[in-house]
Structure formats: structure tokens, C-alpha cells
């Protein structure tokens, strides 16, 4: 019988995992039909709150655990440039809050929230305005990857920012997409070791002709991408809660002589950047596998927590519930053991 690691690193039968998966999907199916207040109560674990001050409070608390952060103002595809202006101004407030509180934090933005699909010229202008502001404070900006319709556009935004000398920008790539290894090679040819990635499995459910759709092939593809990114000399943020991905990463780092509390030994490594690790870091979502994150942190690995906040918390929560296969069991835990339901 095949074995699989649970959250504590212990092996458990794949049959048990299958049963947990079915239970999780059943809980999710019920939860998304619940009243908005109930979804909000559950989402407290994964969303800092509707306001910037809520995110600030969470970051103050998690800073005591040695975490660093990336902040996301919730919202993506918009319907008007007025909305785009809101996101620009809100992110300016985020930059100010990071500086005022001396947080070890960067920004995560979705290009479509800045109007990229509505008015490309104005959308690019909005993104550049924010990136320049961040650049003036030596702050990094991560371009979140959305679904496959905007993969090319998102990568192009990063490349155009680098052409303008704004190298404080990196992109997210998704292991599940069949194109990702080619994207890594293409970006390597254009940016060399200045490339800076977040690699994740990808939350968007993409068509089978352009993506892997089963768990193990997605994990295998993600691990291949991690190897290719490390070998390219790029900075790599490993955004995963999966033991097979994290264990592969730890082995890959050891093989390359990389690790905590040591300089990046890769001869083709990019330049050191403020608030970055020695060529890599681990990244996790707020409220997901905190014990695992703290164990990595205790071993000296830089661990970054993705802090989402904003009025679009409901839409974000529903999407997470639908597409994260472990959240159903966590919802049940929050209901049965409410004292555990905190961000």
C-alpha cells in the first residue's frame, strides 16, 4: 500500500488520505452554502481582516515568531479604472505602514487589479508608480500569477519593469502549467540571475491540455521547476505546504550547498537583496500549517507569510474553500474547536 506524509511528517495510508479528501470536499460544499457571517468566521484564520490595520495587528503578532511577510490587498480582475485607482492608493498606504512599523515585508500585487486588462497603458502606469515607490524604499514587489489567460501579460510586466531599471520585481510561476519550465528558461535568458520567483503548485484549476491535473504529476512538475530555478541562479521563494515539495526543496538545497545562516554559494547567484534569504525562502499562507512554518523558522530558514486583507475577503475565502483540498478538515476543526480559529 502506498504511503503519504501527514502534517507531522508521519506516514499514513493513501486510503486514509482519500477518505480525508472526500470528507474535506463534503465540508467545503456545505460551507460555501452557509451564510456570509459563517464564512467570515471561518475565514478569520486565513484573512487578516477587511482593513489595513487588521493586517498590521497580525504582522505584529507573527513578527514575534520570526516570520516575515508579503501583503496582498484582496481583489483581482476589476471592471473600472476607478477600482484600479483604489488599489494603487491602498498599496501606497501599505508601503507607508510597512515603513512606519519597520516590518520585514514586501508586496504582492495582481496586475489585473491595476487595470492591465482594461487599459494596458494606464494599468502599466499604475504598476510602475507603485513599483517606483517601493524601489525608493528598497522594497520588493511580487507579481501574483492569475489564471492562464494573463500568464504572458504578467511575465511581460516584470520584464518591462526590469528594462526600466526596476529590478525589485519578481513573478509567481505555477508548477501545474505545462509551460513553466520553458518560462523559466526564457526568463533566465532575459534576466539571468536577476530573476526572482515564487514557485507554487497553482490554485487555479486549468484545462488538461495546458496543465497537470492530478496531485502527483503537479508535485513532480513543481519540484522540477524548483530545481531549474535554483540552477539558474535565481532567487526562489518556495510557496508550498506540501511535505513532498518541502522535503524535495530541503534535499535540493543541501545538494547545492545552500541553507540557512550561510551565504549563497552558487557561482551564478544574483545580487543580495534587503529582506531576502541566502538565495531562497519558504512561503506559506496565513493560517495554514503554522507548526510546520515555525519548525522551518526554528532551523534558520527564512519563512514568509502571505497576509491577505481587504473588503474582498468573501470572494477570496470562497475560492480558497473550493480549491484547497485540506481546508474542509480545517473548517470542521474551527467549528468543533473554536479556540483554534485564529489567524
In a domain, 40, yes or no: no
Question: Which residues of the chain fall below pLDDT 70?
Answer: 1-43, 76-77, 317-343
From residue 204, alpha-carbon distances to 147, 148, 150, 229 in Å are 6, 8, 12, 21
| The pLDDT of residue 333 | 56
| DSSP-assigned beta bridge partners for residue 174 | 200
In a domain, 243, yes or no: yes
In a domain, 319, yes or no: no
In a domain, 156, yes or no: yes
CATH code where residue 234 lies: 3.20.20.220
In a domain, 144, yes or no: yes
Residue-wise pLDDT tens digits, 141-181: 999 998 889 999 999 999 999 999 999 999 999 999 999 99
Query: Cα 341 to chain center, whole Å?
Result: 21
Task: Give residue 208's domain range.
Answer: 48-309
Which helix (H) or strand (E) is 240 found in, with range? none
In a domain, 335, yes or no: no
The C-alpha atoms of residue 244 and residue 262 are separated, in whole angstroms, by: 24
Predicted TM-score of the model (pTM): 0.85
Total number of domains in the chain: 1
| The pLDDT of residue 2 | 42
In a domain, 164, yes or no: yes
In a domain, 133, yes or no: yes
Q: What is the dihedral of CA 184, 325, 28, 47, to 10 degrees?
A: -60
For 148, the 3-state DSSP assignment is helix
Q: Other CB atoms closer than 10 Å to residue 331's CB: what's the count?
A: 24
Amino acid at each position: 500500500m502506498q504511503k503519504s506524509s501527514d502534517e507531522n511528517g508521519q506516514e499514513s495510508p493513501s486510503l486514509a488520505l482519500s477518505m480525508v479528501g472526500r470528507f474535506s470536499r463534503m465540508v467545503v460544499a456545505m460551507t460555501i452554502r452557509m451564510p456570509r457571517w459563517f464564512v467570515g468566521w471561518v475565514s478569520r484564520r486565513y484573512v487578516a481582516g477587511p482593513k489595513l490595520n487588521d493586517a498590521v495587528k497580525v504582522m505584529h503578532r507573527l513578527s514575534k515568531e520570526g516570520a516575515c511577510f508579503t501583503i496582498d490587498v484582496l481583489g483581482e480582475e476589476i471592471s473600472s479604472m476607478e477600482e484600479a485607482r483604489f488599489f494603487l492608493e491602498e498599496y501606497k498606504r501599505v508601503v507607508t505602514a510597512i515603513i512606519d512599523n519597520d516590518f520585514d515585508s514586501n508586496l504582492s500585487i495582481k496586475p489585473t487589479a491595476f487595470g492591465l486588462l482594461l487599459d494596458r497603458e494606464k494599468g502599466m502606469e499604475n504598476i510602475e508608480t507603485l513599483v517606483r515607490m517601493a524601489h525608493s524604499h528598497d522594497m520588493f514587489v511580487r507579481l501574483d500569477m492569475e489564471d492562464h489567460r494573463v500568464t504572458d501579460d504578467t511575465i511581460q510586466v516584470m520584464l518591462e519593469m526590469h528594462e526600466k531599471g526596476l529590478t525589485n520585481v519578481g513573478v509567481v510561476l505555477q508548477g501545474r502549467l505545462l509551460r513553466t519550465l520553458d518560462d523559466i528558461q526564457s526568463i533566465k535568458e532575459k534576466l539571468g540571475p536577476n530573476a526572482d520567483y515564487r514557485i507554487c503548485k497553482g490554485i487555479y484549476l486549468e484545462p488538461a491540455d495546458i496543465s497537470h491535473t492530478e496531485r502527483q504529476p503537479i508535485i513532480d512538475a513543481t519540484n522540477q521547476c524548483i530545481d531549474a530555478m535554483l540552477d539558474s541562479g535565481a532567487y526562489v521563494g518556495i510557496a508550498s505546504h506540501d511535505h513532498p515539495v518541502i522535503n524535495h526543496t530541503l534535499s535540493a538545497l543541501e545538494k547545492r550547498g545552500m541553507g540557512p545562516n550561510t551565504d549563497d554559494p552558487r557561482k551564478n547567484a544574483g545580487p543580495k537583496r534587503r529582506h531576502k534569504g541566502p538565495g531562497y525562502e519558504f512561503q506559506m499562507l496565513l493560517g495554514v500549517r503554522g507548526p510546520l512554518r515555525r519548525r522551518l523558522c526554528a532551523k534558520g530558514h527564512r519563512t514568509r507569510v502571505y497576509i491577505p486583507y481587504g473588503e474582498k475577503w468573501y470572494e477570496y475565502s470562497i475560492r480558497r474553500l473550493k480549491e484547497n483540498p485540506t481546508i474542509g478538515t480545517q473548517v470542521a476543526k474551527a467549528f468543533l474547536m473554536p479556540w483554534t480559529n485564529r489567524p
